[in-house]
Amino acid sequence: MEIIPYFDDSNSIVVDGDIFKALSWCRTHFGEKCTKYYKSINNEGFCICPCGFTSYKKTIGQVSIIYTSIVVSGHIDRKQIKQRLKNESAGYKFSEKHFLELVEKSIAYNNIMFSHVDKEKCMSQKIQEITTDFANYKNYVYNTLHDIRNLNRTLYAKSEDVLTIVKKYLASDSENDYFKNDIHSIFAISGMLTTCLATLDILVNSSVELNKSITKSLGVYNKVFKCKQILSTYYRDRHTNIHFNLSGESFSYAKMNDLFEICLYLILENYQKYSPENTNVNINFMEDDHYINIIIENEGPKHTETEINQIFDLGFRNPKIKNKPGNGIGLYIVKTIFDYLGYDIKAESEKRTTHVIDGIEYSIFRLKIKIPIDKKMNSGENII
């Protein structure tokens, strides 16, 4: 029994793990070439299969096993697998560290199972009970989340309506301004709740969530400005002294869907989490004939080149900030959505240390986003 998919040498097939299933590409395209490849692996460690995916051979005592049909950062042929991963679930991309931890857990899992054969029936019964309980709990959670989404959509729409009315009819004075701030806060909280729910949906089933979202041409600058305003209100209410500065301009449309806003929230929230107090997050817009370019930067924990290369991997976190809240999901979700939309995003961390806080080196951290302009819809008018 294995947690991760593996090659069954006796039957010449790839077998699903108990938790992680084999990639659908491997199940539908497995053939003689694959079998020859697995049988030719002699050395332990990572290698890349003929289709571009990761394989990993591990020997325990007299027994060897080849884990396969997975995607581990640094051990893939990116060019080959780009199209092949489009319809896969979100959970199959691992950083090297995360994967090796899973291998050790899988070995420990097997040691427990095989050293307690006399308890197999008892364990099977317990597993069945847990599976049944989990299925019931899963249904309850899904139904509850469905209700929360509906309530939040109503809250978001109503608070936006109230904001419009307030801005139009209420004069600016201390009492009215207090009321306006409260409405802004409700609107901001609803926006953040939308982000949390969408992140969960994409993690559970990315292909369904991406394909069901409607793509349309919208002004990118407007979207960024709206998210900046909402997050500024949200963090102001929590007495978090982080400021978002928006500069440059954009007059063009780009193809996007509702998930683009989710990406903006996740990116800016990521900056807020890891920025020192009393700092600015700078968001700069530039355009050329083909692309809208957005550069977002501020001071953040310093990254090595290796860490920058892993920053969009599921579960990756800079070792220097393990004591800070986070789960290594946000930028992974952003990259997944941007790949689907045809956007480009790159991360940079400058080598020069700006200062040290609590033993952690800080430097300029920068995200560069490149969005293709939708020339058919671009009117040339200022849409700000």
CB 245 within 8 A of CB 281: yes
Would residue 329 count as lying in a domain? yes
Would residue 63 count as lying in a domain? yes
316 closest CA partner among 329, 334, 303: 329
Q: How many CB atoms lie within 10 A of CB 196?
A: 13
Residues 189 and 106 in one domain: no
What CATH number is attached to the domain comprising 348? 3.30.565.10
pLDDT for 202 beyond 60:
yes
Residues 43 and 174 in one domain: no
Would residue 311 count as lying in a domain? yes
CA end-to-end span of the chain = 57
Q: How confident is the model at residue 172 (pLDDT cuts 50, 70, 90)?
A: low
Domain end, chosen from 115, 134, 157, is at: 115
Q: What is the C-alpha separation between 312 and 226, in angstroms, rounded?
A: 25
Q: What is the C-alpha separation between 237 and 182, in angstroms, rounded?
A: 9
**Which of 206-220, 223-237, 244-258, 332-346 is predicted most confidently?**
332-346
Model confidence over 88-138: pLDDT tens digits? Answer: 654 568 889 988 988 888 777 666 555 544 556 666 777 888 888 777 777
Identify the pLDDT of residue 185. 74
Q: How many CB atoms lie within 10 A of CB 15?
A: 14
Domain end, chosen from 69, 96, 115, is at: 115
Q: 120-169 and 174-204 helices cross at what angle (nearest 10)?
A: 150
Would residue 302 count as lying in a domain? yes
**Which of 156-165, 171-180, 236-245, 287-296 is predicted most confidently?**
287-296
Q: How confident is the model at residue 141 (pLDDT cuts 50, 70, 90)?
A: confident
pLDDT for 384 beyond 50:
no
Six-digit token string for 132: 């049944």
pLDDT for 383 beyond 60:
no
CA 359, 325, 269, 204 torsion-angle sign: positive
Residues 153 and 266 in one domain: yes
Identify the pLDDT of residue 236. 66
Q: What is the C-alpha separation between 53 and 68, in angstroms, rounded?
A: 8
Degrees to nearest 5, angle at CA 25 with 20 and 30 = 100
Kindly list the distances between the CA atom of residue 204 and the CA atoms of 120, 166, 282, 306, in Å, as whole numbers in the listed order.
31, 39, 32, 28
Residues 34 and 71 in one domain: yes
Domain end, chosen from 97, 115, 133, is at: 115
114, burial (CB in 10 Å: exposed 0-12, middle 13-18, buried 19+):
exposed
Would residue 152 count as lying in a domain? yes
Would residue 133 count as lying in a domain? no
Residues 45 and 89 in one domain: yes
R_g (Cα) of the chain, nearest Å: 24
Identify the pLDDT of residue 214. 65
pLDDT for 375 beyond 70:
yes
228 closest CA partner among 282, 273, 279, 176: 282
Helix (H), strand (E), coil (C) string for the chain: CCCCCEEECCCCEEECCCCCCCCHHHHHHCCHHHHHHHHHCCCCEEEECCCCCEEEEEEECCEEEEEEEEEECCCCCHHHHHHHCCCCCHHHEECHHHHHHHHHHHHHHHHHHHCCHHHHHHHHHHHHHHHHHHHHHHHHHHHHHHHHHHHHHHHHHHHHHHHHHHHHHCCCCHHHHHHHHHHHHHHHHHHHHHHHHHHHHHHHCHHHHHHHCCCEEEEHHHHHHHHHHHHHHHHHHCCCCEEEEEEECCCCEEEECCHHHHHHHHHHHHHHHHCCCCEEEEEEEEECCCEEEEEEEEEEECCCHHHHHCCCCCCCCCHHHCCCCCCCCHHHHHHHHHHHHCCEEEEEECCCCCEEECCEEEEEEEEEEEEECCCCCCCCCCCC
Residues 149 and 109 in one domain: no
Q: How confident is the model at residue 55 (pLDDT cuts 50, 70, 90)?
A: very high
Which of 93-102, 154-163, 329-338, 364-373 is the least confident region?
154-163
Identify the pLDDT of residue 252. 85
Residues 57 and 172 in one domain: no
Residues 101 and 170 in one domain: no
Degrees to nearest 5, angle at CA 229 with 216 and 284 = 75
Q: What is the C-alpha separation between 371 and 374, in angstroms, rounded?
A: 9
For the chain, what is the domain count? 2
Would residue 127 count as lying in a domain? no
9 closest CA partner among 50, 68, 53: 68
Residues 202 and 286 in one domain: yes
Model confidence over 286-324: pLDDT tens digits? Answer: 998 899 999 999 988 999 999 999 999 988 888 888 777
Residue labelled with tokens 């950083």: 95
pLDDT for 195 beyond 90:
no
Residues 279 and 344 in one domain: yes
Q: How many residues does the chain have?
A: 384
111, burial (CB in 10 Å: exposed 0-12, middle 13-18, buried 19+):
exposed
CA–chain centroid gap for 23, Å, is 19
Residue-number span of the structural domain to which 87 is assigned:
6-115
Q: Give mean pLDDT, residues 149-155.
A: 77
Residues 224 and 339 in one domain: yes
Would residue 335 count as lying in a domain? yes
Six-digit token string for 110: 């097997």
Residues 225 and 307 in one domain: yes
